[in-house]
Amino acid sequence: MIVGIIGSGGREHSLCHSINKSPLIKKIYCFPGNAGTENIAENIKIENYNFENLKRIVKEKNIDLLIVGPEKPLVDGMVDFFEKEKIKIFGPNKICSQLEGSKIFTKKICEKYKIPTAKFGIFKDKIQSLNFLSKSNYPIVVKADGLASGKGVYICEKLKEAEVAISEIFDGKFGVAKNVLIEEFLKGEEMSYFIISDGIKFAKFQTAQDHKRVLEGDRGKNTGGMGAYSPSNILDNKLEKKILDKIIKPTLKAIKDLGTEYKGFLYAGLMIVKNEPYLIEYNVRMGDPECQTILPRLESDLLNIILDCCNKNLKPDQLKWKTKNSLCIVLCSKGYPDSFKKNVLINNLEKIKISENDRIYHAGTYLDQGKIFSNGGRVLNFVSLSESFSLSRKKVVSLINDLNWSNGNYRKDIGYKVIDK
């Protein structure tokens, strides 16, 4: 089977790596991929995921299946386009993708289907927003409505911080802003809960905890994610039943009531408050870096699972997982998430010795004349599986130290809630 994977980050490299283990695989193409995917796939550059250009290449290369990694092509309707062309593609359609594409769309579903979530207000301009914030209690959360690569959420401790957030959003930091969402701050434990669905049935696709803030101790600006671990240590059967009954199942019913079906990965960002789950946000794809920490734990054939979903034949009991703990640390360019240097040479990668329980996934990298260079804020993902999160983190930190990249920056405290208590 010939498979095409859409995307260029660590998530897509980990998808590539897992798909490549299937005995069904004949060849993988990545659009556009990175220096890591270059080792297991053929990278093809494509401008802005142009659907027509991609269709032409898919037909030329006889690609049997497309798997969409990032959110933007999903929100833009890539799945709808290729399904009309009778080309097999895995991911949710444009309507379903509004769960991530519009936070307000999701909040309205929460209201209608009584899905527990933070109290919120929708505001259409700066003046209206600032007037509300001047009378609010703090901390408070300000969110851009729309895609923002995981960076459009501001947790504001004081009015001044909230004013900065409103200005940045309405001044176009994340594109044209028609609305802003202001919601109460929920204090609890975060959890990422994943499912995979064929449109009729769904299966749990594990849990993780992401670390969004750039600085240790969960301080500083929000990022796309500085690291993650899997599984979450706070999930038990009772809490999982609440998540499924109060959040996941009502959401899938809401989608069905809109006249469509959810096919693909669905990622629920949750806050657990006094053992009660609240929906913070949805993502309509695997998280990044959660994907990089979850997929190494998967024992089953990922390609088979995805094909079953495409054929509406998912077998939830066939998903098998390793019992080991997995932890991922993201190595970033110095300065991220603000300004940072690109095109910086990365030496020593080929010299690092990794075991069968370790992974190095590329994100913002490219290959030029046999040398690897940085090409983004989040550059490499180091992952290790072991009997404990503590051992996994120790191994990952040692791998990063072995690389000794002078332009790199990372959080040494990933997993601190389960390791450093």
Separation between Cα atoms, residue 150 and residue 282, nearest integer Å: 11
Q: What is the pLDDT of residue 152?
A: 82
Identify residue 176 by its one-letter amino acid code. Answer: V
CATH 3.30.470.20 domain extents, the chain = 189-318
Whether the model clears a pTM of 0.75, i.e. scores above it, the answer is yes
- Give pLDDT, residue 208: 97
pLDDT value at residue 5: 98
Phi, psi of 53 (to 5 degrees): -65, -40
* Cis status of the peptide bond prior to 116, with omega within 30 of 0: no
Residue 95 backbone dihedrals phi, psi, to 5 degrees: -65, -50
Sign of the dihedral through C-alpha 255, 256, 260, 264: positive
Q: Is omega for the bond preceding 296 within 30 degrees of 0, making it cis?
A: no
CATH 3.40.50.20 boundaries in the chain: 2-90
Which class does domain 325-419 fall in?
Answer: alpha beta
- What is the mean pLDDT for each group of 10 consecutive residues in the chain (421 residues)? 97 98 98 97 92 97 98 97 98 97 93 96 90 92 80 88 92 80 93 97 97 93 93 96 98 98 98 96 96 98 98 95 97 96 94 95 96 96 97 97 96 94 66
pLDDT of residue 322: 96
Domain span(s) for CATH 3.30.1490.20 in the chain: 119-184
Which residues, in sequence order, are bridge partners of residue 331? 380
* Count of other CB atoms within 10 angstroms of residue 191: 23
Q: Can you give the pLDDT at residue 336?
A: 96
**Beta-carbon count within 10 A of 86 CB:** 6
189-318 folds as: D-amino Acid Aminotransferase; Chain A, domain 1 (3.30.470)
DSSP class of residue 35?
A: T
Task: Report how far residue 421's alpha carbon sits from residue 415's, in angstroms, rounded to the nearest whole number.
Answer: 10
The confidence score (pLDDT) of residue 240 equals 98
pLDDT for the residue 145: 85
Q: What is the CATH number of domain 2-90?
A: 3.40.50.20
Give span(s): CATH 3.90.600.10, the chain.
Answer: 325-419
Q: How far apart are CA 166 and CA 277, in angstroms?
A: 28
119-184: what CATH class? alpha beta
